[in-house]
Amino acid sequence: MAEQFATLGDDLEICFETFGDAADPAMLLVMGLGTQMLGWPEAFCELLASRGHFVIRYDNRDCGRSTHFKGHRPPTVKQLLLRDRTCAPYSLGDMADDGVGVLDHLGLDAADVVGVSMGGMIAQTMAARHPDRVRSLASLMSNTGHRWRGMPGLRAYPIFLRKPVTTKDAAIDSVVATFKLIGSPDFPFDEDELRTVAERSYARGYDPSGTGRQLAAIIAAGDRTAEVAKITAPTLVVHGTRDVMVTPSGGKATARAIKGARLVLIDGMGHDLPRDLWDGIAGLIEGNIARAASQRAAA
C-alpha cells in the first residue's frame, strides 16, 4: 500500500497506491476536482480489495504528489465565468491518458474503472477513447459537460469564488466548510475524520492553483455528450438526490447518453461518499462488473 510513482513521458509522474492481490482483476479509482487519492478512503479501498479486486487509487496531475504544472498560471475568475477554453494547459483527455498510463506501468491490460465527479468525467473519457482498457465503467456524481445538465446549484457557486487560503488551519477549515455544504444531509457527517484527511492532504501537497488548472480542463472539454455516447463498456451511473455540486440532472444525462447504462439515484446522498453507503455502492459496482463479465462470456 506504500506510495509508488509511474513515470509517464519526460516530465510527468503520477503517484498511486494499490490494495489487495495483484492477481485479482484490477479496479482503477479516479478522484474528483482538487481532491487527492485520499478522497477514496483507505477503508473503502480495503473493502473493495477484500471482495476480490486489485484496487488502484492515484493522484490526478496537479494534485497531491503527482506532477504539478506550476509553469502555467491558473485561470482567473473572469476566464472561468466566461468559460474561456484557452486557459487550460491540458485536457480531460490528457488526464484520461494518465490513468491508462498507470495501468501500463503496472502491466495491466484493462481495469474496471470507477470515477467520481471530475473523476467520472475522466473515467468516461477513458472508456470512450480507450475502450479496450475499460472492462466496466462506474460514473458517480458526474455529468457529460452539457451546459444545462448537472451544473452546480446556486448554493455551491461561492466555493468556486473563494480566495485561496495560505495556512494549514485555514485550508483544513475550508475543506470542512465545503463538505458541510455539499455533503450528504441525510447521513452522518464525520468532521474528525474529514479533518484528518484534510491535514494529510495539506502535508502531501496543498495547491489551489492546481485545482484551478483542473477546473480549466473541465471547462475546455465543453459538452462531451457525443463522445460519451460512444462508450460501449457496461456502465453504472450513481447519483445522490441531494447533490448540490453536480445536480442529479448530470447523472440522468450521463445514463441517457450511454446505451444500456443503469442509473441508480440514492436518496439523501450529496457530493461525497458517506460511510453508511460504502457497502451498497460497492455492491452496485460489483453488480456492474458481473454484468460486464457476463456480456464478455456471451460474446
Q: Convert the pLDDT of each residue in 62-116 to its tens digit.
A: 999 999 999 888 877 777 766 777 778 999 999 999 999 999 999 999 999 999 9
pLDDT of 176 = 92
pLDDT of 286 = 97
Cell numbers linked to 198: 484534510
pLDDT of 75 = 78
Question: Contact, 131 vs 124, CB < 8 A?
Answer: no
pLDDT of 1 = 67
d(CA 196, CA 141): 24
pLDDT of 162 = 72
Specify burial of residue 179 (Cβ count, 10 A radius: 0-12, 13-18, 19+): buried
d(CA 143, CA 35): 17
Question: Contact, 49 vs 20, CB < 8 A?
Answer: yes
Domain ranges of the chain: 4-298
Strand pairing category for 111-116 and 54-58: unpaired
pLDDT of 79 = 75
Q: For 4-298, CATH number?
A: 3.40.50.1820
List the chain residues with pLDDT less than 50. none
Supply angle C-alpha 25, 238, 40, rounded to 5: 55
d(CA 15, CA 141): 24
